[in-house]
Homo-oligomer: A and B are copies of this chain.
Amino acid sequence: MSLKLYNSMSREIEEFKPVKEGHVGMYVCGPTVYGPPHLGHAKSYITFDILAKFLRISGYNVRYVQNITDVGHLTDDADEGEDKIERQARIDMVHPWEIVDKWTRQYMLDMERLGIAHPSFYVRASQHIPEQIHAIKELIDAGHAYEINGSVYYSVESFPEYGKLSGNKLEEQKDGVRISVNTDKKHPGDFALWKKAEPEHILKWDSPWSKGYPGWHIECSVMANKYLGINFDIHGGGLENKFPHHECEIAQSEAIHKVPFCNYWVHNNMITVDGIKMGKSLGNFITCEDLLSRHSKQAIRAFLLSTHYSSPSNYTEEAIEGMATGVARLDHLNRRAHEIAAQGKEEGSGDKNLLEICEKADKDINDCMNNNLDTPGSIAILYSCTSEVNKLFDGGQIGKKGAVAVISLLEKWADGLLGILPAYEEESYGVDLEPIMSLVLDIRSEMKKNKNYAVADKIRDELHKAGILVEDTKDGARWRKA
């Protein structure tokens, strides 16, 4: 079975076929860096992180390019309002690049903390001003764009396929509420390629039309084509960018290059809070930093990946908290497997059975992922597999070979792909707890020997309060972090 992806363009699940055998070029719309990354960002970038990782697991060589919008994104996401970064810079009374640097750093830090790998490389709008000006010139020359008073607009009527991704018809857009009436434009759906800057605007560049700055949409057309070719494999982004942003990218690139911009459009759905979309402009967002102060990255990822990327995830604190149980079960299984692998017998009579379980789970998860990235299904398989393996472990008939198979399964999928497995490492407490605990348990054992059960129990209870669980086994007492 090979990868099938829902293609927003065809509105069908399609078999994935790369432009160049063995290679995948993927472009994903990155953040506009003027404020804190929130859970909505996390859902989008985890989705495409998983896609890139799964493609690599499947043997593809992936070039994953993500942009950083550091100029030109206006406050209403279309052609009106202020540049979001310039606005924030004015509020904070700093240079716009200070805003860009601060929030780019925060974005990267938060994504790292969430276990999201960096793309192959980031590209910034401000790094590609000449390329954007060049593309705008080409569009004007080809009759797809026109200048009015130093600004340049794309003529949507010049591109008959405009609307093919979103299904928005031009006729409807004429009266649409989303598009403000700008008398300069030939058609109200026309969008800015270049904006003449007001005198107080800081980030501006020379161009044949005015001292100004590029529109938000042209950067993605130019950078995707520059680094991935004029017809590339996958374009990803949030559903909210399907229109107008992605529709505009198609109109720009296909008008210039006359070939399909990309072959697969993949859109992640949004985060909702009480059924309403989470967004910076709506003010109902919860930042990644805030979430990470209360939840493990594994729990946050499990929450996001337990819903399919194409469906909305409804955020509640309880929903994320609830994920901790499943994550702890995976962790517990992993620790048991490591213990057997380190100290158990070489082989056990249950190994064959266990290996079959692991092989089946591996195949089933792979199938799930091939089926349009079914992460909820993959997680369900891991959880049900955990129950089965725990039973076998309880039976005591598992050897190192079996344990290693379990570890490999967990490392490949629960850790490597989904990122919901807590790290297995020797516990670190700043000081080595082992000798202290060994001392305490020796004392307690001494107490019990002298039938001083009250003190022995008190020690156990005090340790519990301190976050240490003591288990009395036939080989003596053992302790672990609660």
Chain A residues at the B interface, C-beta cutoff of 8 Å: 63, 94-95, 97-98, 100-101, 105, 108, 118, 120-124, 126-127, 129-130, 134, 205-206, 227, 427-440, 443, 459, 462-463, 465-468, 481
A437: which B residues are within 8 A, CB to CB? 436
Known contacts A121-B101, A227-B95, A429-B429: A466-B126 contact under CB 8 Å: no
A424–B220 Cα distance when bound, in Å, is 47
A436: which B residues are within 8 A, CB to CB? 436-437, 440, 462-463, 466, 468
> Hey, which chain B residues are within 8 Å of A466, CB to CB?
431-436, 439
- Verify B439–A459 contact, CB threshold 8 A: yes
Residues in B neighbouring A459, C-beta threshold 8 A: 439, 443
Q: Which residues of B contact A122 (CB under 8 A)?
A: 97, 101
Contact for A431 among B63, B105, B124, B467, CB less than 8 A: B467
B residues in contact with A121, CB < 8 Å? 95, 97-98, 100-101
A467 to B430, CA, bound (A): 9
Say how far A470's CB is from chain B's closest CB, in angstroms: 11
A98 / chain B contacts, CB cutoff of 8 Å:
120-121
Residues of B within 8 A of A438 (CB): 462
CA distance A434 to B465 in the complex (A): 11
Q: Does the CB pair B432–A430 fall under 8 Å?
A: no
- Per a CB cutoff under 8 Å, which of B105, B434, B439 touches A463? B439
Kindly report which residue of chain B lies nearest to residue A430, judged by CB atoms.
Answer: B429
- Specify the chain B residue showing the minimal Cβ separation from A481: B431
Stoichiometry, as copies per complex, reads 2
Cα(A432)–Cα(B427), bound, Å: 14
- Could you list 6 examples of A-B contacts with CB < 8 Å? A95-B227, A97-B227, A98-B120, A100-B121, A129-B129, A430-B430
Residues of B within 8 A of A63 (CB): 95
Q: Which of A105, A134, A438, A439 has the most CB of B within 10 A?
A: A439
A101: B residues at CB distance < 8 A: 118, 121-122
Q: Which residues of B contact A440 (CB under 8 A)?
A: 436, 439-440
CA A343 to CA B347, docked complex, whole Å: 61
In the complex, chain B residues whose CB is within 8 Å of the CB of A435 = 462-463, 465-466
A415 to chain B, nearest CB (A): 21
Question: Chain B residues with Cβ under 8 A from A134's Cβ?
Answer: 206
Minimum C-beta distance from A120 to chain B (A)? 6
Closest chain B residue, CB of each to CB of A427: B430
Contact residues in B for A127 (Cβ distance below 8 Å) = 124, 126-127
B residues less than 8 Å from A432 (CB atoms): 466-467
A227 CA / B434 CA spacing, docked (Å): 56
Q: Are A431 and B433 in contact (CB under 8 A)?
A: yes
Closest B residue to A447 by CB, please name it. Answer: B443
Chain B residues with CB under 8 Å of A123's CB are: 97
Complex Cα distance, B449 from A407, in Å, reads: 50
Q: When chains A and B are docked, how far (Å) is the Cα of A40 from the Cα of B259? A: 50
Q: Find chain B residues with CB under 8 A from A434 CB.
A: 466
8 nearest A-B pairs in the assembled complex, by CB-CB distance: A97-B121, A431-B467, A435-B466, A429-B430, A429-B429, A439-B462, A101-B121, A436-B466
Given contacts A97-B123, A101-B118, A428-B430, 7 further A-B pairs with CB under 8 A are: A97-B227, A101-B122, A127-B127, A129-B130, A429-B430, A434-B466, A439-B440
CA–CA, A137 to B467, complex, Å? 69
Task: Let me know if B105 and A120 touch, CB within 8 A.
Answer: no
- Minimum Cβ distance to chain B for residue A439 (Å): 5
Instruction: Return chain B residues, CB-CB under 8 Å to A468.
Output: 431, 436
Chain B residues in 8 Å Cβ range of A430: 427-430, 481
